[in-house]
Structure 1
């Protein structure tokens, strides 16, 4: 039976080339395949309208995201205050069908009186005030640090509006536990992603890979840690790949002979980098949400080495090699750089990733909910 669903997205979900947007795009694609007609509402900034989305959506509406310092003085978080539109409210009223709000960012109208008759589902991509607090701790720029701290305070207050949601779809088991405790509801729906099956190459690669959005302070902190503490202890070739690296990172990497940088790789190029690496080395210092780069590394890559904040309560810990300090991480890298991934390890990944983390399986869960 066909069903219909409004989805309110915080940005245009094409191309699917960063974090939460990957989740939104592949969710749309697989919900459409599950016989759901999607009315998509996109706030946009820095992206163009996309014909690609019309392949999967019954209708697509675009709204320009507001910007400017005046919105910083609102009691609501900046990421919420700048995503309001009277036209969005009008378009939502055209069809009284369930609404999926993508992230707390898009929940400006969650408690609006005109939304009383709707099933209102919120997809949480993080515990946002935790995420912004971590950003403030990782940020060196004083003004950005102040902004992140203020935003974290506002997000903690605004989050209380989730009690008005019909359902919360959390992206990780940890987040599910948090929202269940606070709002007595939450369902674990893992991140949607580009991978239909595990596609790991046998044999050996000849480099170590770190990949991620390099404009994000969390990833910059991880890269600096690796450059300072790990790669200085090794001579194996290293590749760092991702979007928008800062000039300071480019300069640092250019000065290290065995480390190279791939800037703004296309999706296919990034997938090839992951597949051909001997080790995906992806530590994090920010235990929030479920990192899509972890799923990419496990669906496509050989050995995956990380630390506990990356895998804690994800259900994926036993598929990775975990090191908590410099000595253990260096030893693991030295060991796994010489070892081929085994057929048993690949089968173990298939057992978990192609069931619990299957896009079709998780799209069906949402279909059954609406």
Structure 2
């Protein structure tokens, strides 16, 4: 039986945000193909129980607490990588010589302690971390955080160049990152996001509101939401629902002052799908150019219109399924236009999404690469 270590930057359940969605549904798809998964998770607090959904798709689950030492900021290693380190982690890896799939560069600090012959190493390249932290620095208003993100970006610049050549293959999410990695280290493979959706939902032609959803503790999402709130202040005839489990107090206060905007928790995947199914259009905005965002797939499979700016995807086929705005004035026009439309794009979406973006096909491609011998 084929076995694989997967090193996750967090516990991948529930799959409610960003890269964790990709991690969870990748594990599920690989497990469905018969791969025995040894899952290693770096987390803040070790849970008392493991969710049934994780137990069913893994052979073992190991937890390691992220280090809290602020002095790690002063190491040349990026802080996000330095805090994900453990002697127990190394011992658990050495018990089984299966290949290792690292979920993001922040999980790779252990590589320096592995003997070259022990494991075949693979990387899921979630972000160009140098660009990601540079983008966070530009979006962040807090001066202290802005400086921290800038330093982390500079650290990753050297860190990722040094590491990328150590992997048998680097699985990239987008064309942009594939081209960057392939040019530098020649080991890139393009494997799009795992998202868990199997079929495009057939919905009524009209929804009830506009929807913005995401993790509102990140600088990029906070900036995007603030822009969207300011936009809907000028469109009092339309209702905006903001869905998040991680809204800061300043955002809660700002939303409470606008009559046509409401904040609702997500809590479960089922609630997220219900929110998507009732939405007439979704607002997806980013100020970071880092390939296709995971939330785009959830909206395209489970909702109606999707209004995006240029940083949500670099895939021309996916972009063709959305309404595009180059700036907030164009986003505003798309909101007004879509509000009057009925949705008739289901068959077009099925043709593109179900043919080109199934999780099973992506998992089969990864298995061919990892277990090629």
TM-score (norm 1): 0.95
Structure 1: distance between partners of 2:44 and 2:292: 25
Specify every segment of 5 or more residues in structure 2 that has no aligned partner in the other structure, as ranges: none
Correspondence 1:1-370 to 2 at 5 A: 2-46=1-45, 48=47, 49-52=49-52, 53-160=54-161, 161-313=163-315, 315-342=317-344, 345-370=345-370
Q: 1:172 to 1:116 in 2, by over 3 A?
A: same
Tell me the CA shift for residue 347 of structure 1.
Answer: 1.5
Tell me the CA shift for residue 46 of structure 1.
Answer: 3.9
Tell me the CA shift for residue 51 of structure 1.
Answer: 3.9
Cα distance per residue 1:152-184 (max 9 Å; x no partner): 111111102111111000111211111111111
Specify every segment of 5 or more residues in structure 1 that has no aligned partner in the other structure, as ranges: none
After alignment, is 271-280 or 11-20 more displaced?
A: 11-20
CA RMSD of aligned residues (A): 1.6
On the 8 A contact 1:10/1:106 being kept in 2, the answer is yes
Matched residues, number: 367
On the 8 A contact 1:200/1:275 being kept in 2, the answer is no
Tell me the CA shift for residue 318 of structure 1.
Answer: 0.4
Tell me the CA shift for residue 231 of structure 1.
Answer: 4.1
Structure 2: distance between partners of 1:341 and 1:99: 44
Q: 1:120 to 1:255 in 2, by over 3 A?
A: same
Q: Secondary structure in 2 aligned to 1:67?
A: coil
Tell me the CA shift for residue 249 of structure 1.
Answer: 1.1
Structure 2: distance between partners of 1:334 and 1:277: 15
Tell me the CA shift for residue 113 of structure 1.
Answer: 4.7
Structure 2: distance between partners of 1:142 and 1:329: 29
Tell me the CA shift for residue 264 of structure 1.
Answer: 4.3
On the 8 A contact 2:101/2:122 being kept in 1, the answer is yes
Cα distance per residue 1:36-80 (max 9 Å; x no partner): 011111112146251422211112211121112111111100111
TM-score (norm 2): 0.94
On the 8 A contact 2:220/2:286 being kept in 1, the answer is yes
Structure 2: distance between partners of 1:310 and 1:56: 30
On the 8 A contact 1:215/1:243 being kept in 2, the answer is no
Cα distance per residue 1:287-311 (max 9 Å; x no partner): 1132111111101110111111112
On the 8 A contact 2:3/2:38 being kept in 1, the answer is yes
Structure 2: distance between partners of 1:176 and 1:341: 34
Tell me the CA shift for residue 326 of structure 1.
Answer: 3.3
Structure 2: distance between partners of 1:207 and 1:67: 42
